[in-house]
Structure 1
């Protein structure tokens, strides 16, 4: 029996391919199913079943399309009214894939109908538990968040989550491996997860649902829930109706004149280049979203859903990578692309630029003139420590609070430089001098800036 992990680091999620004796079962696949198909070919296995632990809220599933392409049985928790044929499973049901056998366990909390799949050794007595695929229930050192279905459900789901994790720990052996879908950077995790692998025994020592009493767990979980990406509102709808097949083709190229027309028309034109390259020279009116691990989360969070989107990149490969990332969250209206040297794409149009600095430079500047400081971290981060006098506008609120950004010289920072680089591109304009602080916030603490 082999369990292969398919990482989607940009969303902080994992999918799994379980294989034995030429047969494979896939759990919670992402929309770009070519990765799963390539792995199955590499392993020399046929996919017989595709399993979902829940209707996902942070990505568009590839499960429906994967089942169509492979002829696999599509297994989805009972209870949700979906727009496609599937096998609806409930607590106690068994998924029998020959050498791979999984038992369904209802584990509500992340959603009402959420299930986990207990992997049993079909080649032995059948009673030996090898692991459990927990989706958004028991994560590594934490649990899935419980507020994605609306505030009116949060209390109920938080209590349900506590009991689901307790049930998993009570019914499964200490040696069982825990294979969650969320918790590797995903906002579907209630708090940051810990570790790359875990067992039920490990969770007894680290999981708050197993180390705290019920009310303490619920109170702490709810108090710690921060904002989550706005695009989540669309994922459940798409996954319930049934996603369209994925399109990973590179958007049609546009020439500099058309690029300028789109920018002047107020369309979404996103520059994927490194944030310092963007700061050194960019087309005015474009937004800088460096293509790195946080790219798809924050673009999805800020994007005006359904709007035409044009991508600028260093090369076609960079644009193709961004297309794949965006497809995973259903951002499909990519209407054009432009690749190459930014000066060539500008074709004579003057580029805009702004300074990049660190917290040490900000400390020096504050000694001399006390410039305006914009902190785009979330409010909880700000409350834990901030620069005196800084204006806190979380990045996801910035587009509707631009009138609160000070005029003149503004130094923009976050915890690492990524969110602030997006914010800098959003507030860059002719009558404002933007300085991007591309530095870790602990350096601000070392310079004595933090109160």
Structure 2
């Protein structure tokens, strides 16, 4: 028997590949299916089942494509109602894969169809729990995403989650290995550990949600401090419930090379958004006017979902050379399938063709210190609330990047503004959006708060973020 966790850091997502005696199962596959096909061929095994823990909100699963390519059936837990052919399992139903068995545990609460899969080895011993978004390491699934579909409040869903955890998962053996669907950085939870695998026994000791005295206290602590979910989540759920365009087709269309002239013509005659995925340092030096910068070297896909929101938005890409395929792939993982093409030769080809370019006004932290000394200025910190609470520049306003579409319209278009995040990744995203919408009265700080902390600019006293989160 072999269990392989296939972890994707950009999405903080874990898919699982399980093999026993010539047969395989895959749990929660990513959109692109070829890596799984390659594994199956290398191991000379047949894919018997594709298990889905629930209808995912933060990414588009590869279940439909993978099923079409392998003829393996898709398995959901009870109450799931996909728009395609699938096995809707009963609670406690057993599926055999080689010499092992996979038992379905219906664990509603995060969503109504949410299920965990318990692996039983060839000796009949319960060995591993693939817990989906029901149980994370250090946290549990948020109970607010399925309110509309379930016609329930988040408190009612949290109550269901309590029953699932305390009646079905906590009674399991401490030695069972927990394999969650997500880790730290995912918006599907609020307090996840950085580790991606743990024993159930250790989670019983360390996970705050598993140590509540009663259901009432569990509901209170699990629903406390939940931030609004990213707006694209509902669109991803809809795609996961329905059939969708093949990833191969999406990739083929997206890898359409465009000359600067062709690129410019599409910009003029379409509603396409120009997405520049170069690093914030490169973007700061120059870019195609109206471009939005979301760097490929960070949490790219979730930020695309949070800031662009509409998965049907046509997109034109500007990337470093040879990054086109990776960019289209990572966009497709969150459902952004409408890439019209990319600028051949990247930004340099645009600049060398003599076309208009733009720049963000960026200064160093030292320059920032010199400019604001003795002045009353407006400073906007676009980090998360927890980061801001831990330590920030005195008098700075906290305007998290995730909510820029809400706060941008309240900015004074004349008053000078200084903008920063932790290191420059998020503040350059914010700067590009501001500039695309006509704002020119701002300055972005290179290196963000990490660089500002090395100056004598007054700051609040540091508070450990783990305490802030709790």
Provide the TM-score with structure 1 as the length reference. 0.92
1:340 lines up with 2:345 in the alignment? yes
Task: Give how far 1:263 is off.
Answer: 4.2
Where do 5+ consecutive residues of structure 2 fail to align?
461-470
Task: Give how far 1:444 is off.
Answer: 4.4
1:235 lines up with 2:220 in the alignment? no
Aligned to 1:248: 251
Aligned to 1:436: 444
Task: Give how far 1:398 is off.
Answer: 2.0
Distance 1:260 1:370, change over 3 A: farther
Distance 1:211 1:261, change over 3 A: same
Task: Give a deviation string over 1:320-339, Cα, whole Å, max 9, x none.
Answer: 11100011111111112103
Aligned to 1:426: 433
Aligned equivalents of 1:212, 1:386: Cα separation in 2: 33
* Structure 2 counterpart SS, 1:209: helix
1:258 lines up with 2:262 in the alignment? yes
Distance 1:63 1:188, change over 3 A: same
Aligned to 2:328: 323
Aligned equivalents of 1:334, 1:5: Cα separation in 2: 30
Task: Give a deviation string over 1:16-71, Cα, whole Å, max 9, x none.
Answer: 00112221111111111112112222333221111011111111111122122111
Task: Give how far 1:226 is off.
Answer: 1.1
Query: Are 1:357 and 1:437, in contact at CA under 8 Å, matched by a contact in 2?
Result: yes
Match of 1:403 among 398, 409, 415: 409
Aligned to 1:55: 55
Query: Are 2:209 and 2:221, in contact at CA under 8 Å, matched by a contact in 1?
Result: no
Query: Are 2:77 and 2:91, in contact at CA under 8 Å, matched by a contact in 1?
Result: no
**More moved, 156-165 vs 375-384:** 375-384
Task: Give how far 1:285 is off.
Answer: 0.9
Distance 1:381 1:150, change over 3 A: farther
Alignment of 1:21-32 (within 5 A): 21-32=21-32
**More moved, 362-371 vs 278-287:** 362-371
* Structure 2 counterpart SS, 1:53: coil
Aligned equivalents of 2:444, 2:62: Cα separation in 1: 38
**More moved, 159-168 vs 49-58:** 159-168
Aligned to 2:466: none
* Structure 2 counterpart SS, 1:66: helix
Task: Give how far 1:434 is off.
Answer: 3.7
Task: Give a deviation string over 1:228-283, Cα, whole Å, max 9, x none.
Answer: 22110101111112233213224322222333344456630011111110001111
Query: Are 1:13 and 1:185, in contact at CA under 8 Å, matched by a contact in 2?
Result: no
Query: Are 2:54 and 2:114, in contact at CA under 8 Å, matched by a contact in 1?
Result: yes
Query: Are 1:27 and 1:50, in contact at CA under 8 Å, matched by a contact in 2?
Result: yes
* Structure 2 counterpart SS, 1:428: helix
Aligned equivalents of 1:35, 1:293: Cα separation in 2: 22
Aligned equivalents of 1:358, 1:12: Cα separation in 2: 32
Query: Are 1:314 and 1:339, in contact at CA under 8 Å, matched by a contact in 2?
Result: no
Aligned equivalents of 2:159, 2:387: Cα separation in 1: 27
Aligned to 1:222: 223
* Structure 2 counterpart SS, 1:47: strand
Alignment of 1:7-86 (within 5 A): 7-86=7-86
Aligned equivalents of 1:400, 1:224: Cα separation in 2: 19
Aligned equivalents of 1:242, 1:431: Cα separation in 2: 41
* Structure 2 counterpart SS, 1:432: coil
Query: Are 1:418 and 1:438, in contact at CA under 8 Å, matched by a contact in 2?
Result: no
1:285 lines up with 2:290 in the alignment? yes
Aligned to 1:367: 373
Distance 1:144 1:137, change over 3 A: same
Query: Are 2:135 and 2:141, in contact at CA under 8 Å, matched by a contact in 1?
Result: yes
Aligned to 1:165: 165
Aligned to 1:207: 207
Task: Give a deviation string over 1:128-183, Cα, whole Å, max 9, x none.
Answer: 11101000011111111111123743111212222322234433211110011122
Aligned equivalents of 1:431, 1:325: Cα separation in 2: 29
Query: Are 2:259 and 2:344, in contact at CA under 8 Å, matched by a contact in 1?
Result: no
Distance 1:156 1:374, change over 3 A: same
Aligned to 1:272: 277
Aligned equivalents of 1:359, 1:155: Cα separation in 2: 45
Provide the TM-score with structure 2 as the length reference. 0.88
Task: Give a deviation string over 1:272-314, Cα, whole Å, max 9, x none.
Answer: 1111100011112111111123111111112152121100112
* Structure 2 counterpart SS, 1:219: helix
Aligned to 1:92: 92
**More moved, 372-381 vs 94-103:** 372-381
Query: Are 1:19 and 1:25, in contact at CA under 8 Å, matched by a contact in 2?
Result: yes
| Alignment RMSD | 2.3
Match of 2:393 among 368, 387, 397: 387
Task: Give how far 1:399 is off.
Answer: 3.2
* Structure 1 counterpart SS, 2:130: strand
